[in-house]
Homo-oligomer: A and B are copies of this chain.
Amino acid sequence: MPLPGLDLARNVLRLGLAAGLRVAAAESCTGGLIAAALTETPGSSAVFERGFVTYSNEAKTELLGVPAATLAAHGAVSEQTARAMAEGALAHSRADAAVAVTGIAGPDGGSAEKPVGLVHFAAARRDRTTRHAVHTFPGNREEVRAAAAETALTLLCGMLEEK
């Protein structure tokens, strides 16, 4: 699989440099792909501050401060958890903007209510309103992860472009 989102990652770095903003990523189903794309470009350390790969629920709570009650009430794959992850990434980093991804990459783990391919996103920025998005991506695990990484980077660009 090629590393997805490299063009979008370069855009994040360009926008971050122009605005003097640093970014963080909080990843569940993308598992590091967003951070890997952001750090592939030389000079990325000026914009990418840190990344959290919070695969387990305990990691989401311990590293990002996602309330255990939120995970219990809404599940790891939910708007509420995505928002808490993005805002937690800001609270637990030096970054000015953060993106979070939590979804079901498959092939297992899907249900009628939450099918394979369902991914929730949130993008947060200090002193701004957090944005949420949800998609259901077609394809296999690799394709869902790649589409999720690209969507997250696009959301992060939008957050950095906000006036």
Q: A35-B35, A51-B51, A59-B94 are in contact. List 11 more A-B contacts (CB 8 A).
A: A27-B32, A31-B38, A39-B145, A44-B55, A48-B55, A49-B55, A49-B59, A50-B54, A51-B55, A52-B52, A63-B63
Q: Using Cβ atoms and an 8 Å threshold, which residues of chain B touch A51?
A: 31-32, 51-53, 55
- Which DSSP category, helix, strand, loop or mixed, fits chain A's interface? mixed
B residues less than 8 Å from A42 (CB atoms): 106-108, 141
Pick from A40, A53, A106, A141 the residue with the most CB of B within 10 Å.
A53
Copies in the complex: 2
Interface size class of A (residues with CB under 8 A): 35 or more
Complexed CA–CA distance, A31 and B44 (Å): 10
A7 contacts the other chain (Cβ, under 8 Å)? Answer: no
